[in-house]
Amino acid sequence: MSGLEVRKPRACILGVEGTELSNWEKGFFREADPYGFILFARNVTDLKQVKALNNQLREVVGNINVPIFVDQEGGRVMRLKPPHWRKIPAAGVFGQLFETAPENAREAAYINARLMAADLRDAGFNITCAPVLDIRFPGMSDVVGDRSYGSTVEQIVPLASAVAAGLLDGGIAPVIKHIPGHGRASVDSHKDLPIVTASREELSRLDFEPFRQMKDVVAAMSAHLLFTAIDDQRPGTVSAKVISEIVRGDIGFENLLISDDLSMEALSGSIASRTHECLAAGCDIALHCNGKRTEMEEVVSMAPKLAGEALTRSQLLSNQIAGFNITQPPSAQIADWQARLAELLSPVWSAGEQA
C-alpha cells in the first residue's frame, strides 16, 4: 500500500439543510470533504427523494462508501417515518417483553434490526446511530426514557447486542450511544446541561457497564453530561478527563468516538470553540447536525484533516461499511420477518397503537 495515498477526510460529520443539495452545499462539501453526513426528518420526504439525496452526497465527495448517518432508533426517534416506512417500536417495548420472555425479546430485537437495516440500505444509508445503551433511571428526564432497553445492565446488553448484530447482518453499521452513559440526565441535554452527582464507583458499576460489555462496536457517540465526580467543570464531550480516564480507560473503548451534536444547548461557547474543544478533549469526529451554513463553516474552520489514531479508527468504520456485501432481502423474507415480529411483540405492542 506504500504507493497509495490514504484518504484523509476532515474530522467532522455535517448535516444538510433541505431535501436536495443547494449549489452552495455542493461546493462547500466538495471543498470541506467531511468524514460523513447525517440526515434528519427535514431532509426526508419519501424513498425516491432520500435515495437521490444520498447519491448526491456520494457524488459530491467522490466516495461511494462515504459514511451517511441517520438517527433511526424506533419510537420517538425515527427519521424515516410512516406512511412511507413502517412504524418501529421504541427500545422500551423490547425491554418490557424481556421481563417476561427474554428469548422472545432478543429474537424480536434482532428481527426488528434486520427490517430497519433493509429500510435504511434501500434508502441509501450505511450507518444508524443506535442502539442506545443508556440505563433508564426513575425520575430522570424523558430525553432517554423509552429509548432505553431497560433499567438493568442484564436487560440492556442482550437486547442491544441483538440489535447491533441485526444491523450488521443487514449491512448497516451501528453506533452505540451515549457513552459513558446518559441515563441519569435530569434535564434534556438538547436544551440544558444535565449535571450528574453520582459517585464514580456507582457510575462505573452501573452506567458504564453496558458500554464496557459492548466496547468492540466500531463507533460510539459521546454524552453531553457533567459528571461532577470525574470532571466538575466540563461536560463529557469536551472533557479530556472523561474521555481519557473513563471512555478510553475504565470502559476500554478504543474505537471511533463521535461527539453528540455540537449545536445542543448542553454545550456553551461558539460552534467553533465547541468543535475545537471536543476534538482537543479526545473525540475523533465532531458532529454537527442542523445544516446551518454559518455554523457548518465554523465547524470546518476548526476541524483538521483526520490523522493519527483518529484516522486509524475512522478507517475501521469506513472499512466496515466498504465490506458490507448485502443483497436486499426478497419481499417474501421481509413479509416473514414482519409477521414473526408482530407475533413476538403481540403481548406488549402492535403497529396499530399510537405512540
Q: Which of 134, 207, 260, 261 is catalytic?
A: 260
The cell 434490526 sits on which residue?
113
What's the order of all strands across the beta sheet hosting 176-179?
176-179, 219-222, 256-258
**Burial class of residue 134, CB neighbours in 10 A (0-12, 13-18, 19+):** buried
Tell me the C-alpha distance between 231 and 246, whole Å. 11
For helices 91-98 and 331-345, what crossing angle results, to 10°? 60
The distance from CA 109 to its chain's CA centroid, rounded to whole angstroms, is 17
- Angle (CA) 345-214-207 rounded to 5° is 85
Q: Which of 84, 122, 188, 190 is catalytic?
A: 190
Tell me the C-alpha distance between 116 and 255, whole Å. 24
CB of 93 within 8 A of CB of 145? no
Residue 20: closest CA among 286, 291, 288: 291
71 among known catalytic residues: no
84 among known catalytic residues: no
For the beta carbon of residue 250, count every other beta carbon within 10 angstroms: 18
Tell me the C-alpha distance between 78 and 89, whole Å. 10
For the beta carbon of residue 2, count every other beta carbon within 10 angstroms: 3
140: left (phi over 0), alpha (psi -120 to 50) or beta: beta
Could you give the residue numbers annotated as active site? 190, 260
